[in-house]
A and B are shown apart, each in its own frame.
Chain A
Amino acid sequence: MDAITLNNVTKTYNKKTVLAVDNISFSVSKGEIFGLIGPDGAGKSTIFRMLTTLLLPDSGKATVGGLDVVKDFKAIRGIVGYMPGRFSLYQDLTVEENLTFFATVFNTSIEENYNLIKDIYVQIEPFKDRRAGKLSGGMKQKLALCCALIHKPEVLFLDEPTTGVDVVSRKEFWDMLKRLKAQGITILVSTSYMDEATLCDRIGLILNGKMLSIASPEDTINAYPEKLYAVKADSIYHLLLDLRAYEGTINCYTFGEYLHLSITSNEAEVRKYLQDKGHENVEFKAITPTVEDCFIGLLKHQDERNSNKNE
Chain B
Amino acid sequence: MSETVIKTNKLTKRFGDFVAVDEITFEVHKGEIFGFLGANGAGKTTAMRMLCGLSTPTSGEATVAGYDVFKQPEEIKKNIGYMSQKFSLYEDLTVKENIEFYGGIYGLTNKEIKEKSTELIDKLGLHNEAKKLVSSLPLGWKQKLSFSVAIVHQPKIVFLDEPTGGVDPYMRRQFWDLIYEGADKGITIFVTTHYLDEAEYCNRVSIMVDGKIEALDSPAGLRKTYEATTIDEVFYKLARKAKRSE
Q: Is B one of A's binding partners?
A: yes
Of B93-101, B104-112, B164-172, the one contacting chain A is B164-172
A39 to B138, Cβ gap below 8 A?
Answer: yes
A167 to B236, Cβ gap below 8 A?
Answer: yes
CA distance in complex: A209, B171 (Å) = 18
B171 to A39, Cβ gap below 8 A?
Answer: yes
Q: A39-B140, A192-B166, A292-B169 are in contact. Are A168 and B236 (CB under 8 A)?
A: yes
| CB contacts between A and B, total, < 8 Å | 100
The digit string for A181-198, where 1 denotes a CB below 8 A from any CB of B, is: 000000000001110000
The digit string for B32-66, where 1 denotes a CB below 8 A from any CB of A, is: 00000011110000000000000000000000000
Chain A residues with CB under 8 A of B196: 167
A192 to B194, Cβ gap below 8 A?
Answer: no
Is B184 on the interface with A (CB-CB < 8 A)?
yes
B167 to chain A, nearest CB (A): 6
CA distance in complex: A94, B236 (Å) = 30
Task: Give the number of residues in A that approach B within 8 Å (Cβ atoms).
Answer: 39
B138 to A126, Cβ gap below 8 A?
Answer: no
Chain B residues with CB under 8 A of A171: 236
Chain B residues with CB under 8 A of A248: none
The one of A41, A137, A256 that contacts B197, using a Cβ cutoff of 8 Å: A256
A253 to B173, Cβ gap below 8 A?
Answer: yes
Of B22-30, B73-81, B152-160, B238-246, the one contacting chain A is B238-246
A299 to B168, Cβ gap below 8 A?
Answer: yes
Most chain B beta-carbon contacts within 10 A, residue among A123, A163, A166: A166
Instruction: Enumerate chain B interface residues (CB-CB to A < 8 A).
Output: 38-41, 85, 138-140, 162, 165-171, 173, 176, 180, 183-184, 194-197, 200-201, 219-220, 230-232, 235-236, 239-240, 242, 245-246
9 A-B residue pairings within 8 Å (CB atoms): A40-B168, A41-B138, A164-B162, A166-B38, A168-B239, A169-B40, A253-B173, A255-B197, A295-B169
Given contact pairs A40-B139, A136-B41, a sample of 19 additional A-B residue pairs in the complex whose CB atoms are under 8 Å apart: A40-B138, A40-B166, A41-B139, A136-B40, A138-B39, A138-B246, A160-B166, A166-B194, A167-B236, A167-B239, A168-B39, A193-B195, A237-B184, A240-B180, A254-B197, A257-B220, A292-B169, A296-B169, A296-B170
